Every structure is written in C-alpha cells, then in structure tokens.
Structure 1
C-alpha cells in the first residue's frame, strides 16, 4: 500500500511540475498530440461529408440512368409495335394478309398481340383475331360483340385520325371470347391497351386497324432490366436489398411493377409499391392498379414531372415498418413517350419509377470511421515516436559529435564530420571542427604534392640495366626464350620432355605468350628437326579454305580447282604441323582432324583414296577448351587426342621479374631498327612497365618498347612515351601510400589482410585470388578498416582516376569471388567484408 501511494505522489508531482521545467519530450507531447487529434477529427469529418455526398450522387446517377434506360427500352418496344401496326395497316382490308403479317412479326421479333382487328368506316365488314398462347383464331362475326369493351366503342375516337397517325388508349382489362372445341364459351381477360391507325388507299380512310398490347410484355421489360440478364447490367447488386421498378400512367395510377421471375404466366402486381406508399388499391377497369394518396407529396411531384416529360430523382424517407428497413432511399423516374405521327409531338404514355435502396453510404461511413480511428492511432504513435526521436537527437547532439570525431581518429583519414541536423549550437561546433580538419588536410595535400614533384624528378632518371641480358639469362638450348624463374623453367622442361617423345602436343596460353616459339622449340629439339615445320593459323581461314589447306584437293574437285594441291599434312610429311588457334576450327574440321589423327591417313578433296601421312601435330589455343566442350563447340574426343602432352606458356603478369630483361632485349632490337645506340629507360618508364597488367603479354611489351625506341628523340625513354594509361601509376602510388595496406605481419611471417570483423576471420594475401588488381586490394583494405565500402568511396580513394563504372566492376568482381557481401538496395547499397555470419 505504501508503495502504491509513493508512485501516486510521484505522478502527481510530475503532473504539477512547472511547465518550463518539464522535459522537452513532455512539452512537445502535451502541445502536439491534442492539436494533431483535433486536426485529424476535423479532416475526418470533412472527408466523411464529402465522400458521403459524392457516393450519394453516384448512386442517384446510377438510379436515374436505370430509370432512363428502362423507359427507353419500353419506348423502343412501343415504337416497334407502332411500326407493326402501320405496316399491317397497308393490308387492313385483307384479314388473311393482316393475320399473316402479325404471324411473321411474332416469329421474327417475338411480338405477341392478344388482339388485333379491323373497324370499317363505312359498309365494310369488321373482323377480330385473338391470340392465346401459340394459337391465333379469328372470331366469328357474331362473337365480336361479346368483347368487353368492344372495338366498336373506339370508332368515335378514331374519326379524327389521319393516315399514318396512331391513337393509344389507356390501360384497362379487356375480356374477349376464345372458343375452342372443348369449351366453345371460353373467355379470356388481359390487362392491355389498344393502338389504332387508319387504313385505306391514298388519303381515303376505309377503316381502322387496331391491336392490343399486353401489359405483361411491358412488365417483362421492367423485370428484364432488374435481372442479371439486363442489357445495361454493369455490376452485381446485393440481392438482400430490395429494388424494383414500376409503371404508372399520367393519372398517377401505378399499373404494375417488375417481378423477380420473367414469365408471361406471372400475374401483374403492385405489392412492393403498396408497401412504400399510402393510397387506394384497384379501379374498375384494372383491379391491380394502385394510386397513392394525395399526402404522398413526393410521389405526386414525380407524376407532375412525368406529365411534363421531365426525368428526375427524389430522396425518400421510409414509413416506419411499412417501408424499407433503410432510413433513406431514392426514387428515380423517367417518362415513357410515343410519337403518334412523324409530324406530331410525342405522347406521354406513362412513366417508369425505380425504387433504389442502398446502404452503401452508411457502410462507407462505418469504414471511414474505422480508417480514421486507425489513422489517428497510427498518427499518435508516430507522433510520440517522432517527438521521442527529436528530443533524443536534440539532447544527444554533442555526444554524437564527439563520437563522430572519435571515428575520424579511428579511421586515420582526415574526413569532414558529418552529422544530421542536431541544433544550432552543435552545428556551429561541427563547422569549427571541419574547418580545422580542412586546414590539416590542405597541409597534408601540400606535403604530398611536394613529394610527388621530388618523385617525378627521380622517375626521369635512367634506370640501370645489365649491358647484355644474355650474360645471365642466355640459354644455349632455348635461345628463343628470354628470362628466368619457376614458370619459365617449367615451360622449358615441358618442351624438352615433349621433344623426346614423338606424340601430339597441346600448347595452352594467352595471346602473345610465345605459343608458336614453344612449338618451334619442340620441333627443333625433336628427331623431326630436319623435316618440314608447317604453321597454320586456324582463325584466319574459313571452314572450306581450312579443309583445303590441311588436306589439299585434286584437279577438278570444285569449280576453281584447276590443278592438284598438296595439303599441309602432305607438305609436313615426316615433320611437324603446327595449328594455332585450334579453338576457331569448326566441328566439321574437328571431325576431319580426328579421323586424320586416328588413322594417320588423309583424303584430299575429290579423291577416293586415303594417303598415309607421318606428321607430328602440335596445336595451340588461348581459350579453355574444356569450357568449349561443355558448350558443345569443341569435340571432347579430339581434345584428348590433342592433349597427349601439354605445355603451358605463362602470362607475362605471372612472371613480372622478367619484364626488365625483356624490355632491354626489345630495346636493343628497337635500336637496330632505328639505327641508334645507347638508349635506356627511365625509372618512371620502368615502374609503369612493372605496374601494367599486360593483357597482350610479351607481344604487347615488344611492340610498346620498339615503338618507344623508334619514336623517342632522347636516349632516355620517359614514362609518358610508353603509351600506357598514367592512371594505373596513380592508382599504384595511392595503394603504396597505404602505410598498413599489406596488413600486420603475422607470427608465421605472412602478410595478411583482414577482410572480416576480427583477426581470425582475416585472409592472408597469399590466400587471396592472384588476379586481384591493386584497386581491389585497396577496396578490401578500406572495407576491413571501416566495415564497408561503396563505389563512390573507391573512386574518392583513387582520387577520381577511375570512373564509377570501373569501380562498380571491381567491387562486383570481389562479390563474385566471395570477398565482399552486398547489403541494402538502391542508393543505400554498400558492401561489407565476408564473415561467417553473412556468408551465403
């Protein structure tokens, strides 16, 4: 109990604390949260009001469109009926022709009229046809008088009609006899209205043709537009909500309404309309008709608009339990018109009303409230979080600045301190520290500039080279090879072994590494030395020419074959055939070579006899044939035929210690070409040669040295005359300036670069891939020290001597080799050293 009282007192003291002494976080919350909630409440109310209004307008427009399209459908049906009547009137005096026309109309359009007939204006004979189901019969003349109301009663109303005009009656119940064999006194009653038009020749009126239109046909149109088969149906409406259409005449009587089932057997009804309005049911000529009372002001306003041919919409409120369960609904309406004659105004036959009940506005309102509550809760939570973050950042600005300065010290690089906005005071202090760092960095840059000037002068001094490279590196057995080292010695041993045995040899190596020299050495040291040595480059010849060059042809073998030709196999008989760039040969050539090697026989083009050949085949390639075998571009059986003995010619970058002696050898060759003596290289030129990657190997080195010797005007060739990109030299110097770039010396004496987060996860330089360039080693070192690296940071480290694309290629290659791991996406992408946790 005492503990609870203590907590209560503590909370009261905090609440009663003077506002100026409250924490910044508390003051911000007390000021911002109520204001934010008030703004959200106002915004929610306004958006709810606006969205409700627009949804209501959309529903009303949909209702008006429904009423208008339904009325248009009825008008189209009435117009079809009028046209049928006018066309039939042309044969009005011929009952058989009229009956045939209406039968054809029924078959083609489905128009079924329960009654049609003729009323003569003079001494002619009347006739009447009645239809019940599929049967249409002509009433005997004595039965016509039994029709209620009789057609003769229409005569007085039709006398004013002119040819082409149509008269329309009101809806009422019509009863007429329909005798049959089973029941000769049967009678049928239908709710319908009649149309009539004059018929005769020219302007002479001989009588009047009339027909009855069943009200059910119009009712079925209302039902069709309410059903899922409606021609204007755009989406599914929920069946729970009651919606219906009804037809009313100009006197305000609701004659019938739409039904859920479209069928002529369904009787007319006005049940749903009677539930929505107070009024009178039934009239003498139409028992199902319903007329709302005069207290239904909105309804009678609708009737007035229909009389004036104005469509519209009214918002209604239900009558307690007798109406819709929904508080408000809409009543859309549209007039139904019929043009009695082309030169007359349209007659208002009646109107279509559409009662639409929907809770979409209320449902949207509930959803809106839910969304606003969720937004309010999220906004308050985010506001509290934002206030906490802002207060924390404001109070910790100085601590962040101190940590940033400490990081600058740990990195060992004079970089500007970068902090997010933490307040005016912290910003002023940060600018002062950055100004001091900038001054120190400028002084360091001046020192580096002076060092570079001194170094550039030293690089122009001539380098000391041996007077004669053959004194120390001359090999009497292999005079064509200059240089020493394990790789060169291994190549010479392989050549000597290959020369001792008479088998096929495969020479593998990059372009410019001396593959042909190796082949010539094998031939020179073998027992075939006194026989021919034929060399062919497969990459220079197409398939047919290569086949002809290798195997020859007989005279007349092809169009231009005007004489015999001995192929390379025959020319090299007893000696050695060297095929360079064997990977360029097609599969057809490979198949021919495989046959020649297997049988040691060839068949020239155009010959039907094999020729024995004694040839040692030496092939060379600068690509990976195993990879080509996997791709299906090189035959595996031929590969193993060729690779009896393999000789590897090392790339120049693998034995850079031979660059000076090779450079001097080629320099002497260049002197002989230029007719000069005493030429040498400067230190800068030699360093640039040593730092180059040499993609063209020894051939590139020879071309570069001879070109410089011929073009140089001074005896000392400078670095800028070598034709190499000076950026590589800058990059190498930057890498060399990394005082601890090669890492600490481990207890075993191995240089080590730590690419992980601790010493145990580091990798020794000797364990790294041998094809990493200095830029990639620098990137690894920077990532180890700072924990990450980006492409922009690598460009900055190399003082802008490489493009962002080159930096991206270098880093992506480190990722592919498993030395770096990509973290983040887009602008926040960075690369961190591979560790046991993030590996894979």
Structure 2
C-alpha cells in the first residue's frame, strides 16, 4: 500500500527517544498507517494546518505548550480531528478533562502495546466514520436549498419565500397542488431547511400501501400481532423519530387509520399493533394532497379534526398554466437532464419550439413537460429541437404528447378512459415508435440498436416480437432509400 492510500497518524511528544520508539513500533504493528512525528507543539499545529491527519497521538505534558492547549489549537485548525492523549500521569481527573475538551481517548505511559494498538485502531475507525458523514453533509449543504426547483415567476418566488418561512417552524404543513407540480420537492426543501435537516426524512405514499398493512407500516407491530407477523417491526413513526414524516397523498388514508393517526399527533405517542405500551415519538408531519379535502370532509370520508391537525400551515404549488413564463427555463433544464440521462450530445430548443411549448395546455404539469422534453431529446435528429420536431412527436403518438386535454380524457368524444387503459395505450405507442425509430436509424442493425438504447439484444428482440417489428423491413427500407 502506497503512503497516499494509507491512514495518517501524527505523534506529538517532546522526547525524541519516545517519538522514535513509537514511530518504529507503530510502523511495524500498523503497516496500513503512515506515521509522522513532531517534537514541538508549534510544529504539530503547523502540520495539522497543512495536512489532513486521521489521528493525532498527543503527549499531555510538554514544555513549550501544555497538551490541553495544544489539543485546543489542533481542534481550532480541524474541528473534526480525532486526538488520543498520552501521559505518565494517569489520573481520572486528567482523562476526564481531556475528553471534555474534545479528546477521543486517553492512554498512559508506560504503554501496554496491544492496548495502545486497540485504541489507535478504534480512533482510526471513528475518524473514518466522522469524515464520511462530514463529506455527505457538506455535499448536501453545498447544494442550494432550491436547486431542484426551476422558475423565477412571481408565484415561484412566493413559493420559495413560503418554504423558507415555514421551515423555521415545527408546525405541521399541508402541501396542496395538482399532480405533477412538485409537492414532494417542497416537502424535501422544508425538511432540509429546518432544524431537523440533519435528521431522517421518511416518506410514505399512502395509497401505495394496502389498507390492512397501512396501520402496521405507520405504527409498527409486535411479533404475533397478526398472521404473518413473525418478528417485531418498527413503524415509520419510530423510524422518523426526531426527524420528519412526509405523508404523500394523505387523502387516501382510510377513516379507521385516520383515527389512530389523529391520536398519535395529539398525544405525541404511538402504540404498535399487539403492544400494550405506548411509545413517545418526536416527529414533524408534512403531508400532501391533490384532492379536495373539504369535499371529503363533507362526504365524511376525511376527519375534520385530523384535517386541522395536518393543516396548521398550507403551501400551494402552482400549476404549470399559472407560470407559463417559467416554461422556457424548465424546458432548458430538462433538456440538459435528458441529454445526461441518455448520454447524448447537448441539445437545445429553438425559439419557435419554446413558444410552442408555452402555448400548450399541460394537465400533467411539470412532470408531463419533463416527459415531453425527454421524448424530444430522444427522437429529434439534430442538436436543435424545432417546433416541427414537437409536431412530429404528436403525430407519431396519436396527438397525445404535449398535454392537450385529450391525453387525460380519452379519444376526444368526452368519454373518460380508465387510467390503467390510457397508460397502457400510451406506453405501447411509445415503445413501438421508439423501437421503429431505432431500427430506422441503424438500418435494421439489431445489435447496434440495442447498444444505442441500453437494452440487451435479447430484450430488444423480445419487444420486436411483441409488436411484430421485423429488422429486415428496415434494411429493405434503407436500401430502397439509397437507390
């Protein structure tokens, strides 16, 4: 192992013989560690300022500067530094003082060789965990709070301001808005900006969990509480303790679970299924819905008292039709994302294409716009995506790409197509068109088409068989075109 890949240890002691003895001992016993030495406190402080050390082994008695002073100076240079103190004066009072001032551990002279190695190995591991967590935290903190939001319109600026104001409190927040308007992004922003930002954010999609399992998922259960409960299970309330719980699509929670959720919010405690004891929890609640909760209260399918518990503060996410001036910014942002996802050269929209996007209806909001942009990047042959490329996409997909109202409602005669059927139809049309376009581009070369699409050859052939697509048809087409 080269020195650049080794952990780094700095030994600080004013006795040269001690330094040399420890350097040899630890170099032999810990070959995975690069050992440096410093005989003066000022030299140690300078080294820590210039280099990143995993552990410092520091003598507590030195003439130039007291070891406690050196400890403080080192931690000012690197607050996350792991320091082990060593001394011939092994009193408990000295050990406690050193640890109170930030030392990780304490060893006494003369050393027990194996005890010293164990302490240093534990210190190395502790340092590794701290540095990893610090790195992750800095990566998260280095991102602007609204990095994933795009838009500078007045409604979006108002949204940013409201998120920041709400984040400073611990109130329950109800996030309301149409599907595809970024309600989950709002929840994540509120959490990350709050005092709980370094604690867990646990999300649960309420309609995705069967009713008979939802209570167990929320509150947990004891072994034997019901058939199949073969072990204790911690609910998401406990998982989110000291953090934030995001209940997505809260309107779909059954009334019987609403009652137990209300009790948990009122009492600040939960009782797992099959348990006789309640457990205290400290959780901030964020919830979201795209439904009319007031109407559901009138229909007695949503508890009014729960509504007021959840709706201490409301945040509304604007629909895309309310912020048309942000569509060029969004489309440009999604183009960059799609190009990265697909591994293609950077593309951009022409002015006419952006105007076309701004002039459309978007019932699926930002999520629908992103899907259209992905398709435009995928199927547009040039680096500039033009309005005619968007029209060609509409033609290829039966007019449903781009968000006319027919896409949500059905064939155009006012009849509402069931969601599952409409989704299957769009997916089939997309898949068929995608594969045909691939084969046109590769002149029927299935291997090359599979490579371009990221599919295996076998998977692509399976799709072709399903839709009755033959590669030879595209080879013939290409030969005919060249003729």
Query: Structure 2 length as normaliser, TM-score?
Result: 0.51
Q: 1:506 aligns with which of 129, 153, 174?
A: 174
Distance 1:707 1:538, change over 3 A: same
Query: Which residue number in structure 1 is paired with residue 146 of structure 2?
Result: 478
Say which structure is richer in helix.
Answer: 2
Query: Which residue number in structure 1 is paired with residue 295 of structure 2?
Result: 627
The 5 Å alignment of 1:352-363 reads none
Query: 8 Å contact 1:600–1:612 — kept in the other structure?
Result: yes
Q: Is residue 521 from structure 1 mapped to residue 189 from structure 2 by the alignment?
A: yes
For the residue of structure 2 that corresponds to 1:478, the secondary structure is: coil
Structure of larger gyration radius: 1
For the residue of structure 1 that corresponds to 2:247, the secondary structure is: strand
Question: Could you tell me how far apart the structure 2 residues matched to 1:506 and 1:690 are?
Answer: 29
Q: 1:685 aligns with which of 345, 350, 353?
A: 353
Q: CA deviation at 1:720?
A: 4.7
Q: Is residue 636 from structure 1 mapped to residue 304 from structure 2 by the alignment?
A: yes
Query: Which residue number in structure 2 is paired with residue 551 of structure 1?
Result: 219
Question: Could you tell me how far apart the structure 2 residues matched to 1:696 and 1:803 are?
Answer: 17
Query: Which residue number in structure 2 is paired with residue 722 of structure 1?
Result: 390
The 5 Å alignment of 1:247-646 reads 476-646=144-314
Q: CA deviation at 1:667?
A: 0.2
Question: Could you tell me how far apart the structure 1 residues matched to 2:219 and 2:309 are?
Answer: 19
For the residue of structure 2 that corresponds to 1:565, the secondary structure is: coil
For the residue of structure 2 that corresponds to 1:553, the secondary structure is: coil
Cα RMSD for the two superposed structures: 2.2
Query: Which residue number in structure 2 is paired with residue 705 of structure 1?
Result: 373
Question: Could you tell me how far apart the structure 1 residues matched to 2:250 and 2:229 are?
Answer: 26
Say which structure is richer in strand.
Answer: 1
The 5 Å alignment of 1:665-814 reads 665-722=333-390
Question: Could you tell me how far apart the structure 1 residues matched to 2:373 and 2:300 are?
Answer: 41
Q: Is residue 663 from structure 1 mapped to residue 331 from structure 2 by the alignment?
A: yes
Runs of 4+ in 1 over 4 A off after TM superposition: 723-726, 802-806
Distance 1:633 1:804, change over 3 A: closer
Query: Structure 1 length as normaliser, TM-score?
Result: 0.30
Question: Could you tell me how far apart the structure 2 residues matched to 1:492 and 1:586 are?
Answer: 32
Q: CA deviation at 1:804?
A: 7.8
Query: 8 Å contact 1:673–1:710 — kept in the other structure?
Result: no
Query: Number of matched residues?
Result: 259
Q: CA deviation at 1:709?
A: 0.9
Question: Could you tell me how far apart the structure 2 residues matched to 1:711 and 1:585 are?
Answer: 41
For the residue of structure 1 that corresponds to 2:166, the secondary structure is: helix
Provide structure 1 residue ranges, at least 5 long, that are not aligned to the other structure.
Answer: 1-474, 731-772, 774-801, 807-840
Question: Could you tell me how far apart the structure 2 residues matched to 1:634 and 1:673 are?
Answer: 41
For the residue of structure 1 that corresponds to 2:212, the secondary structure is: helix
Question: Could you tell me how far apart the structure 2 residues matched to 1:610 and 1:575 are?
Answer: 19
Question: Could you tell me how far apart the structure 1 residues matched to 2:210 and 2:227 are?
Answer: 18
Question: Could you tell me how far apart the structure 2 residues matched to 1:674 and 1:519 are?
Answer: 28
Distance 1:581 1:804, change over 3 A: closer
For the residue of structure 2 that corresponds to 1:559, the secondary structure is: coil
Query: Which residue number in structure 1 is paired with residue 137 of structure 2?
Result: none
Query: 8 Å contact 2:145–2:192 — kept in the other structure?
Result: no
Question: Could you tell me how far apart the structure 2 residues matched to 1:529 and 1:803 are?
Answer: 47
Question: Could you tell me how far apart the structure 2 residues matched to 1:588 and 1:805 are?
Answer: 36
- Cα deviations by residue, 1:686-714 (Å, 9 ceiling, x for unpaired): 23211221111111111111222123222
For the residue of structure 1 that corresponds to 2:309, the secondary structure is: helix
Question: Could you tell me how far apart the structure 2 residues matched to 1:564 and 1:722 are?
Answer: 54
- Cα deviations by residue, 1:96-145 (Å, 9 ceiling, x for unpaired): xxxxxxxxxxxxxxxxxxxxxxxxxxxxxxxxxxxxxxxxxxxxxxxxxx
- Cα deviations by residue, 1:137-186 (Å, 9 ceiling, x for unpaired): xxxxxxxxxxxxxxxxxxxxxxxxxxxxxxxxxxxxxxxxxxxxxxxxxx
For the residue of structure 1 that corresponds to 2:174, the secondary structure is: strand
- Cα deviations by residue, 1:422-460 (Å, 9 ceiling, x for unpaired): xxxxxxxxxxxxxxxxxxxxxxxxxxxxxxxxxxxxxxx
Per chain length, whose mean CA-contact separation is higher, i.e. which structure has more relative contact order (CA < 8 Å, sep 6+)? 2
